Amino acid sequence: MNTFHLIELIGVVAITLALIASTFQFLYVNKNHNTESFSFEYLFLMVIIEFMWFIQGLCKGSYTISIAKAIGCLYFAWLLYLSIKYNIHKGKTIKDLLENKTFVENLKYMFNNIKSKFTG
């Protein structure tokens, strides 16, 4: 077996394990309608990130990357949809989801924290 096939086989095993792991979370969220532990921004950004990695996989000609990231994109898009759906049922709007967050402030804090590690 050449190296390329071994690497692709590792990718297929990883995809399979990711699907199994994601299935448990997917079933839990569908059963309990609980998406409160996921921030709206996280889910939104993960959809974009996974889609970008999907495109990268296509450009590199790696089917395992493309398949894994397409599945990841759909998974996070589904969680984002459920989060919006369940929050609307609670009387919230997307605007409410965004107003209660200090996303930019958290990014600034993380950036300054990382910067202080390097600048002493």
Residue 38's pLDDT is 81
Residues contacting 76, CB < 8 A, separation 6+: 43, 46, 47, 50
The rounded mean pLDDT for the chain is 83
**Structural domains counted in the chain:** 1
Q: How confident is the model at residue 50 (pLDDT cuts 50, 70, 90)?
A: very high
What's the pLDDT tens digit per position in 53-98? 999 999 999 888 899 999 999 999 999 999 888 888 878 777 776 6
The CATH number assigned to the domain holding 75 equals: 1.20.1280.290
Domain that holds residue 27: 3-84
pLDDT at 49 over 90: yes
pLDDT at 1 over 70: no
Residue 91 within any structural domain of the chain: no
Residue 73 within any structural domain of the chain: yes
Rounded Cα distance, 113 and 1, in Å: 46
Residue 46's pLDDT is 92
DSSP 8-state assignment for residue 31: H
Residue 113's pLDDT is 76
| Amino acid identity at 61 | G
Q: What is the DSSP string of 69-86?
A: HHHHHHHHHHHHHHHHHH
Residue 28 within any structural domain of the chain: yes
Residue 99 within any structural domain of the chain: no
Residue 34's pLDDT is 82
